[in-house]
Amino acid sequence: MQLYIGNKNYSSWSLRPWLLMTHAGIAFEEKKVRLGWEDDSPFKKTMLALAPSGRVPLLIDDGFAIWDSLAIAEYPGRALSRTSTSGRATPKQRARARSLCAEMHSGFAELRSTFGMNIEATPARDRRAHAAREAWRWHADLKRIDAMWHEALEASGGPFLFGALQHRRRLLRAGLHPRAHLRPAAGAARRRVRAPHARLAGFLEWEREALAEHDWIPEDEPYRTQA
Ligand SMILES: N[C@@H](CCC(=O)N[C@@H](CS)C(=O)NCC(=O)O)C(=O)O
């Protein structure tokens, strides 16, 4: 299987299936394609030749294309059952986990657009992002994330949202000072993603590679060249 991903510094969509498959020990060949938005960019040409979405992540299994991170996460079914408690979950627990995944996947537009993933983001980026938007818009998103994580952790007893690993990551390096925005249990769950004892070595590997990339996309980095 080949997993096509974008730049590790920016592509949080690519991170999701990459992390899941890495953590579950599912073998895949990583194919990194430098992100590009123009129709005639090498990125678009490469991706459109492989699948109609023209986006990453994209999984190719024996010539069969699967696009969209949720569909990819569900494809190697072993991955989910080996990394979560879903094997023992009741239908209601499964439904609740699915609701949260879907809500994370398609929601939080304000938070997402204000703080797009940028692992190497500088404080200047975050200051610009804070200044660029009315705080209340993404505050509402954060409030909902705090409530969602808090309730799931209370119900499962942790250490992750549904007991074992569930992947979620956006607040890191977003300059959001989680202590001010998340209740202690949700803040601790956020830190656990990076803690060595969480055995999320895959995440730390991705982060290391993102920081080593130094392949900045100008559209995502205006603060590097403008005051
Ligand atoms: N809903 C999709 C979103 C994928 C997506 O938007 N990926 C971005 C990179 S992070 C992309 O390929 N953008 C190229 C474009 O917008 O043309 C998923 O979950 O995979």
pLDDT reported for residue 159: 78
Shortest-distance atom of ligand 1 to CA 57: 20
Say what the pLDDT of residue 62 is.
93
Residue 211 in domain? no
Cα 183 to its chain centre, rounded Å, is 21
Q: What tens-digit pLDDT sequence spans the chain (227 residues)?
A: 999 999 999 999 999 999 989 988 899 999 999 999 898 999 999 999 999 999 999 999 999 999 999 999 888 765 445 444 445 678 888 888 889 989 988 899 888 887 888 888 767 776 776 676 666 777 888 889 999 989 998 988 887 788 766 444 444 444 455 555 667 666 666 666 666 555 578 888 999 999 999 998 888 776 665 54
Q: Do residue 163 and residue 132 come from a single domain?
A: yes
**Residue listed under structure tokens 């803690």:** 195
Residue 44 lies in a domain: yes
For 10, the domain range is 2-79
As given in the structure block, the two tokens for residue 79 are: 């991955």
Kindly give the distance from the C-alpha atom of residue 67 to the centroid of ligand 1, in angstroms, as a whole number. 9
Buried b (16+ CB within 10 A) or exposed e, 117-154: bbbbbeeebbeebeeebeeeebeebbeebbebbbebbe
* pTM for this predicted structure: 0.80
Q: Residues enclosing ligand 1, CB less than 6 A?
A: 6, 11, 13-14, 37, 54-57, 68-69
pLDDT at 117: 86
Considering the domain boundaries, does residue 163 fall inside one? yes
Question: Which atom, in ligand 1's list, is nearest to the CA of 56?
Answer: 12
- End residue of a domain, out of 19, 46, 79: 79
pLDDT at 54: 95
- Please name the residue whose Cα sits nearest to atom 2 of ligand 1: 68
Residue 204, in any domain of the structure: no
Our count of domains for the chain comes to: 2
